[in-house]
Amino acid sequence: MTRLIFTFTDSGAGVLKAALLADCVIGVEQRFVCGRLPASSELDALLSPCTAARRLGAHWLDNLTGRLLEEAHRQGLGLIEFCERFDAVELWVDPDPNSHLQLIWLLDYLRRYTNVTSRLAILQTDHIIGARQPVDLAAWQRHLAPVRDHHLQTASDAWSAWGASTPELWFNLLDQGLGALPQLRNSVVALLEELPSHGSALGATEMQMLELLSAAHVHPYDLFPVQEKPNERQTFGYWEIGALLDGLARCPVPAIGGLDEGPFDLAMHEDPDRHQRYKRSRLALTGLGQAIVDGAADFSQYNPVHRWWGGTELTNDRLWRWDVESRSLVAP
C-alpha cells in the first residue's frame, strides 16, 4: 500500500521523512496566522494543475524535492491528481494555531473530492512532531483516524469563520462541538487572545514581550517564543515575532526602547554586522510600555493600528478586542 503524508511544518516533515513511514512526505507551509488572507481563487489556483495555477503565480509543488514530486512537477499535477496516486493519504497535525489553520483550509478544499477523502486519515497531536525522534513516530500511527463527514464539516465551518470580516463566527466556534478536531479548540482560543486586548490594545504575544522585558529579559531574542524559555507562546512564527517587536519599538510612541537595528527582515539577517547589533541590543520599557504593563495605558491611543486577524481588518476606528477576564469579544 502506497502512503502519502502531509504535515504543516518543515521540522515535522524532516522527522517524518527520516522515520520512513510513507512513500512521500510533504511539508505544507502556508502562513495564515498573520497578514491578509489570500483570496479563495488564489488558494484554489495554488493547488490546481499547473496550467491553471501559473496564471496566478505560485504552485503547491514549487520548491518541493524528491523523485515523485519532481515527476509530478514536470507533469504539472494538481494536489488532487497527486493524491490519487496513493492508496492512503494522511494528515499529521502539530498543536500550533497555524498548523490548525492549514488543516482546516486543506480539509475544506479536499471536501469536494470524495475520491481523495475516502482514503484520508488524520493524526492530531499535542506534541511538536519536529521535536521528536524519528523512531518515536511509528507508534503514533495507531492514533490515525479516518476522516469522516463531521471532520470535513467542522473544518469548513472553521475556515469560513477565520475568513469572516469580524471575529464573531470564530468566537462562536467555542459554543460548537469541535470534538471531530479536538485540538482545534486550543487554537481558537489562542488566536482570540491575539486580538487587541480590552485594556492595552495589544495581543497576548505582545503583552508577553513587555512582561518579559519588565522581568529583566533585555535582549531581543530573549523575548522570542522558544520551548523551555520564559516565552513559550507558539501562536506566531519567527518572522512574525520579529515584526511584532518592530511594531512595539518602531512606532510614533514606542512601548520598547533600545532596539539598535532593523527592520527585522532578510536584508538584516544577511548582514552579519547588522544582525549582531540587533542581537546585542539592550531593550527597556518606555514610559508607555511600563504604563501598559501596569494596566494604565492603551497602545492604540498613542499609535496607529492597522493589521489583519484572519479576514478581519483591525484599525483604530474598527478595533475588535478580546476581554481576557470575561473571555468575551468587545465590538468596536
- Cβ contacts of residue 39 below 8 Å, gap of 6+? none
pLDDT for the residue 294? 96
Phi and psi dihedrals of 123, rounded to 5?
-125, 115
What are the cell numbers at 23? 512513500
What are the cell numbers at 278? 540587533
pLDDT for the residue 1? 87
CA–CA distance, 284 with 256 (Å, rounded to integer): 6
pLDDT for the residue 56? 53
CA–CA distance, 308 with 322 (Å, rounded to integer): 15
Q: Please give the distance of CA 75 from its chain centroid, rounded to a whole number.
A: 30
Task: Name the nearest CA neighbour of 298 among 206, 220, 215, 231.
Answer: 206
Task: For residue 248, give the DSSP letter.
Answer: H
Q: Please give the distance of CA 131 from its chain centroid, rounded to a whole number.
A: 17
Q: Which residue has the cell 502512503?
A: 3
Quick one: residue 177, left, alpha or beta (phi over 0 = left, psi -120 to 50 = alpha)? beta
Cβ atoms within 10 Å of 127's Cβ, excluding its own? 11
- 129, 92 contact by CB (below 8 A): yes
Q: What percent of the chain has pLDDT over 90?
A: 79
Classify 264 as helix, strand or coil: coil
- 233, 204 contact by CB (below 8 A): yes
Task: Name the nearest CA neighbour of 11 among 120, 138, 99, 139.
Answer: 99
- Cβ contacts of residue 280 below 8 Å, gap of 6+? 219, 260
pLDDT for the residue 53? 44
Report, as ranges of residue numbers, the positions in the chain whose pLDDT lies below 50. 52-53, 55
CA–CA distance, 203 with 328 (Å, rounded to integer): 14
